Amino acid sequence: MIRTILCVVALILAFTAAPAAESPVRFGLTAVVVRDDLQLYDRWSSYLSKRVGRPVQFVQARSYREIMGLLQAGGLDFAWICGYPFVQQRDPETLELLAVPVYEGAPLYRSYIIVHRDSPISSLAEMKGRVFAFSDPDSNSGYLVPQAMLAERGHTPQSFFRLSFFTYSHAETIEAVAEGLAEGGAVDSYVWEYLDGNQPDLTARTRIIARSETFGFPPLVARLGIGPELRYAMSEALIGMTQDAEGRELLAQFALDGFAQYPPGLFDSIRDMADSLRQVPLVEPPPTQTVRVIGEVE
């Protein structure tokens, strides 16, 4: 008798879960997080799927710009982007702040200027005429912040460095510096620290010569068109991760304290910095690249 009841319950559960599988929630990822552990994202997607009630599919692209394009075109519902793209002017606005990661007690991070461990360089000023690696043209810590640092001295990357290039990934910027291809690089402090814990061999070949002031941590955003129920469900799922063991375990993997809601003003300092640099002509970023999909593929 009990067995029959269990079977019925299982059937009901199966049927209720079935419609959710038809339209997955697409979640864009950028280089603000280290994306080499695919299993971690599978687990996170299944965790969020359970909480949201619909399958969650992570979509990964090489550049921020691709993710932003997809977001605005409706190809993505959510994305974990950088503060700089978030504050960029959109008319009409298409994005809404969903949650901000809390890192070491605050929703803040910095930009690190790194050099090779054996390099004699000890400040950004000594980097003149050298090769520098930026992460992404739309990255705050990986491009905007060092640009601002140079602007303080009346320089642009073109006038200051002999050569600079984009790696489109903080982790790869660290690698380019560690390999000696770039003599210096600008990276996200969270990514550097995360890798320092997970791949200490790589970060040990680099040295931090400058730390910027703090900025709002790369936020998670929602496309305005998705409707409040899904946005609410996702926001609750993210913020509630500290509430259960599985969520905490995932957060520990990301080396984050959790996700929380903050006002968009958190990123004003980035906007101000971008505005002040507006007069300075920016390096025209190269064309966009291919899109890679992680997680469930339809």
Partner 1 sequence: MKIPLAHTAMIVGVALTIGVVVVAQAWVQFREELEEKVLLMGRDVAAAAPEAILRSDYWALYNALRQKASHLPARIGEPRLQSGMVLGLDGRVLAHLDPVNHPLGLPLAPEAETERRLLADALEVLTPSVIGGGGKDGDFIESIVPVTYNQQRLGVVRMRVSMDELKDRIWQAGFTVLFLTLGLAMAGSLLGAVISSRLVRRLKALSDGMQSVGRGEASQVRPLPADGRDEIGQVVDRFNEMAAELAEKKRLEEKLAISEKLAGLGQVAAGVAHEVNNPLGGMLNCIDTLKKHPDDPALVQRYLPLLEKGLNRIGATVRELLVELHEEATAKPCDLACLSDLKELVAAEIGDRRIELRWDNQVSDEMCLGCSCPNLQQVVLNLTNNSIQAMPEGGALAFRSSCENRSLVMEVEDSGVGIPLEHRRHLFEPFFTSRPNGTGLGLWVTYQLVRKMHGTIQVDSEPGRGSRFRIQLPLEIDATAEDTR
* Minimum distance of partner 1 from residue 164's CB (angstroms): 9
Asked if 73 interacts with partner 1 (CB under 8 A), we say: no
* Minimum distance of partner 1 from residue 165's CB (angstroms): 4
Does the CA dihedral 260-263-264-270 come out positive or negative? negative
Beta bridge partners of 102: 258
**Cα–Cα distance measured from residue 276 to residue 266, given in angstroms and rounded to the nearest whole number:** 18
Residue with tokens 């461990």: 117
CA distance readout (Å), 10 to 5, 7, 16, 21, 46: 9, 5, 10, 17, 19
Is residue 107 within 8 A of residue 216, CB to CB? The reply is yes
Biggest distance spanned by C-alpha atoms of the chain: 81
* Minimum distance of partner 1 from residue 286's CB (angstroms): 4
How many residues belong to the chain? Answer: 298
Cβ nearer to partner 1, comparing 67 with 177:
177
Q: Which of 36, 104, 152, 179 binds partner 1 (CB under 8 A)?
A: 179
Asked if 126 interacts with partner 1 (CB under 8 A), we say: no
Segment lying near partner 1 (by CB under 8 A), choices 92-100, 177-185, 207-215, 228-236? 177-185
Segment lying near partner 1 (by CB under 8 A), choices 76-84, 180-188, 238-246, 252-260? 180-188
- Picking from 119, 225, 134, 221, the residue whose alpha carbon sits closest to that of residue 172 is 134
* Minimum distance of partner 1 from residue 22's CB (angstroms): 38
Segment lying near partner 1 (by CB under 8 A), choices 19-27, 67-75, 97-105, 174-182? 174-182
| Footprint (CB under 8 A) of partner 1, residues 235-294 | 286-287
> Which residues contribute to the site for partner 1 (CB under 8 A)?
116, 131, 133, 162-163, 165-168, 172, 176, 179-183, 286-287
